Amino acid sequence: MKHRRFRVDPEKVGGGRAIIDDPGEIRHIRNVLRLGEGEPVTLFDGRGMEYPASIARILPREILFSLAPGKESPDQESPLKIILGAAVLKPAKFDLLLQKVTELGVGEIVPFFSSRVVPRVGEEQADSRRARWEKIAAEAAKQSGRAAIPRVHPPRSFEEVLQGEWGAAAKIILWEKEAAGAFSEAVGDSPGVFLLVGPEGGFSDEEAGRARAAGFRPVRLGPRILRAETAGIAAVAILQFIRGDLK
């Protein structure tokens, strides 16, 4: 029988008990999966902790769980910290990118607007879009067995991305006009990577030059031109093969 995993708010875990009060998750547990009291499950808090648990009580607006001691779940997290700076794409394409890079183990996602991506939403719509992105990342983490959910940053400008503080991460930009850049050389022995992926149509020459000046090293994904979402997914998979946990 398939073992079920559910996300729990870390603030609602304590004293050997946990509570899920998200209406959507309650409907899924009670009405779709039809789980009953005493069913074994695993809870994860999105910050790297997992808890073997069982359903203690199902109430109309919350479900109570009894917990075994929690543990960190490092086996599902990559030894290479990957931050993905991704140009905002059309909704369906960006949703796909978020889902797949979460499954592949990305730690943070930084959406941005470049010269070929003009923001066309107001602040309220932007907040709604980010909430949707966070939900997609949470569902992908749940499905793929991760206990940590990638952090989805608020959308920002390309210049803000270039000027951001990204720790000791090696900085890489996907640039189809680069002739010789290799992933293995660009990553080196850095503990993390900030990977910059452009929009449909790619980065402009001026943007690529500004990225170089900001310390980003250009690399190329072979001789074919890939869609933006394909390029992002492929690049993350390559990084995980080179220095991560895809062996």
3-state secondary structure 209-232: HHHHHCCCEEECCCCCCCCHHHHH
Count how many Cα atoms sit within 13 Å of the Cα of residue 2 in the half-sphere of its side chain: 7
The 10s digit of each residue's pLDDT in 118-169 is 555 544 566 688 899 999 999 999 999 898 999 999 999 999 999 988 888 9
Residue-number span of the structural domain to which 65 is assigned: 4-72
Residues in the chain: 247
Q: What are phi and psi of 36, to 5 degrees?
A: -120, 175
Q: Are both 176 and 219 inside the same structural domain?
A: yes
Q: Write the burial class of residue 233 (CB in 10 Å: 0-12 exposed, 13-18 middle, 19+ buried).
A: buried
75-79, 87-91, 115-119, 161-165: the lowest-pLDDT one: 115-119
Can you give 133-149 as a three-state secondary structure string? HHHHHHHHHHHHCCCEC
Burial of 123-141, coded b for 16+ CB within 10 Å and e otherwise, reads eeeeeebeeebbebbbebb
Last residue of a domain, one of 17, 41, 72: 72
Q: Are both 56 and 83 inside the same structural domain?
A: no
Taking residues 72-95, what's their average pLDDT?
Answer: 87
pLDDT band at 65 (very low <50, low <70, confident <90, very high): very high
Q: Are both 26 and 99 inside the same structural domain?
A: no
For the chain, the first-to-last Cα distance in angstroms comes to: 28
Q: Are both 119 and 59 inside the same structural domain?
A: no
Give the DSSP H/E element, type plus range, for residue 110.
strand 108-113
pLDDT for the residue numbered 225: 86
Q: Are both 67 and 189 inside the same structural domain?
A: no
In this structure, the dihedral spanned by the alpha carbons of residues 113, 118, 122 and 125, taken in order and rounded to 10 degrees, is -70
Which of 86, 213, 119 minimizes the C-alpha distance to 205?
213
Last residue of a domain, one of 41, 72, 103: 72
Q: Are both 29 and 90 inside the same structural domain?
A: no
pLDDT for the residue numbered 2: 61
Last residue of a domain, one of 72, 87, 119: 72
DSSP state of 74: G
What rounded mean pLDDT belongs to the chain? 88
Question: What's at 100, amino acid-wise?
Answer: K
4-18, 26-40, 48-62, 170-184: the lowest-pLDDT one: 170-184
The 10s digit of each residue's pLDDT in 160-214 is 999 988 888 999 999 988 777 677 788 888 889 999 999 988 899 999 999 999 9
pTM for the whole structure: 0.86
Q: Are both 67 and 135 inside the same structural domain?
A: no
Kindly state the tokens that stand for 169. Answer: 């991460």
pLDDT for the residue numbered 125: 67
Q: Are both 122 and 171 inside the same structural domain?
A: yes
Residue 19, domain CATH: 2.40.240.20
Residue 141, domain CATH: 3.40.1280.10
pLDDT for the residue numbered 121: 54
The H helix count followed by the E strand count for the chain is 7, 14
Q: Are both 238 and 177 inside the same structural domain?
A: yes
pLDDT for the residue numbered 222: 82
Q: Are both 91 and 41 inside the same structural domain?
A: no
Q: Are both 59 and 84 inside the same structural domain?
A: no
Domain count along the chain: 2
Q: Are both 197 and 158 inside the same structural domain?
A: yes
Which of 163, 177, 157 minimizes the C-alpha distance to 218?
177
Which of 49, 40, 133, 54 minimizes the C-alpha distance to 89?
133
